[in-house]
Structure 1
Amino acid sequence: MKLIVNTETLTHPLRGIGNYTLHLLKGLRQQATPGTVMCFNGSDRLLTIEEVEASLKNAACDADSLICRELICEAPRDAIDARFRELTRSHTDAVYLEPECLNRPFDGRVIPIIYDLSPFRHPEFHRDAYRAMLQTCVPACLERAAHILTVSEFTRSELVSLWGLPRDKITIVPPGVSPEFHPRSPEDVEATRKKYKLPAKYLLAVGTLEPRKNQTNLIAAYSRLSKSLRTHHALVLIGAQGWGAERLEAVIRSYRHPDELFWLGYVEQADLPALYSGAYGFVYASVYEGFGMCLLEAMASGVPVLTSNQSALPEVANKVALLTNPLNLNSLTRNLERLIRDEAFRSNAHLEGPEKTLNYSWDTSAQQVARTLKKMAETH
């Protein structure tokens, strides 16, 4: 079966849906006949998977590239729609895989990928133009969908709740976790820790700097810990700037004890596994997520995890992580202290995290997508 994949939002640095799409593409390359997977990135021709990978690999990570994906709404829609229609006119026998619900014009079968529905559940966390675009595009894309892929039971339930879609029209294909994320010895992470001038013990938080990720509350809760705990367990934030990061940046700059709070900004992918594994604990206090791939990465690295008790995060971290109300500072502070002090929990997490993530692999995810596409071909 031929497949057309919209890769317009695969920009450097990759974030959730971009990471998911790229890994699926790599996996599908092993499942598909060469030349049957074509990618549209807004240019004047369809690209191969290898060309998309090369483009990402060669992309420079400068200040202009660290833009949030929400700027896609500022692209000239009519011109890009016309380009897409012209390039795909002779491929209407293909399936069009749409990871961002941009709803490009296509006369064949469409499969949207729904990662999360944050613009609908939490419009306050998104730019007005982006929210308005999705509020038009997503319902239209779902209405014409031959089938729908999503990443969690939580997001499938959201789709059913918001639009009354039949559950059997939605297939859950969770992300995988790359094998680079695994427990490492202190000696194996020492060079990376020194590269970023980090203390021996630190709590790690990974995520784009934007309101939904709730880093402002995390810093406030962390600041309520005793001076002794903060002195011996710094808070390290990793993440590129996203939309609405100005307030958070101001909070980071105004923090009075620079030896307690580190913001590394965007970090090269090659350094992330060691930074995860070297962490004393991992914190992901996001308000709303469709999945939360960084939870898998932290658990696979054998790091004790504290995450939100909301959206898909309990589903992903079930029975392995500590859960907290991300909007209640007392709860967040109390659980940060437990993350540091509870030796029984920490000991179990070191063992149970890597074991739980064995169920998640990108090969399995790609195989699930391939099976869904094959089933569609057989019933078409």
Structure 2
Amino acid sequence: MDIIDSIPTSKTLEINAIAKKLKSQGKDIINLTTGEPDFPTPEPIKEKAKEALKNNFTKYTDSKGIYELREAISTMLKGKGIYFSNDEIVVTNGGKQAIFNSIMSILDKGDEIILFSPLWVSYIPMVMLVGAEPVIVETKFENDFLPTKEDIISKLTDKTKVILINSPNNPTGSVYSKEILEEIAEIANKNNIFVIADEVYDSLVYDGSFTSLYGMVNEDLLIYVNAFSKAYSMTGWRIGFVATKNEVVYRRIAKLQSHTTSSTNSISQYAAIEATVTDNSKMVEEFRKRRNFAVEKAKEIGLDFVNPKGAFYLFFKSPVEDDEAFCKELLEKKLVALVPGSAFNANGFVRLSFANSIEILSEGFKRIGEFLKENINP
């Protein structure tokens, strides 16, 4: 149990739980912590779930996912210029399980995986559970939190087995350019290193267009991860997927899936078929408006941040050195919940989620501005 005991809890979920508890006590909480769209799941998807229930589609399924959904995912990906057949796809319980199954299927004890900081809270715990070693490439605020080729090469050893890329990025909102991805792919191909491409925010890009790692990394080295959670407001449905053309890795992922959770929820799978053909452009446009609003308000109250080009987070410099103390005091005095950057291996920063209405964001920034005037710059 030593490994599990050594793993930190998720600060994102921890702070979100505190905020929800305060709210249940009647406190007027502005909760800007979670990476979860506030929109309802689109009606056609919900109707598909009702159809599943009506048809008694409530039994075990193929642990890799029902054929119809894997085929629908394959077709959806073709529309993005990404080509995986249905028998190269495994449907998982959200993107989180897709990533964990991938890590578990590639890394052995003592192997190294390159991660880029700031990083999503669960990457390091997942690597620790395998017994592998996370090797952190520290990206810089001044470089929009994007790595350089030299940064990556400096971390390579004969134990480097995987590079994990998350673009658009949680928590920074940065989107990797085609040039940077080509450099990463070149390093991976040259050194025979696996690449896990976590692209769950790929449809939430507001400036320019999104570039996938697919087609850059040698096909036997690429493990592609995506999910319906963010793009279709289906966080609670727990439907993600992983795809790879590497037959050995694919068999391992499928085997691991069969011995852990078996299949994912049958009704969610059935509903997700509809998600593959659902237009989410209105939601994306609303997120763009919220991004623009958050950027404008952050400038008005004097926050220092990198302009988020994707996802739905504003990652700014903490006005005080101790980001956890800042978030705690802000919650106590102004009832605004944010996530300290230390949760993402980025001390001195703070994450704000703009996956909330303009009205909630407006009140949140108003309170943050008041807090800054009263406590930081009186």
The TM-score with structure 2 as length reference comes to 0.32
TM-score by length of 1: 0.32
> Which has more helix, going by share of residues?
1
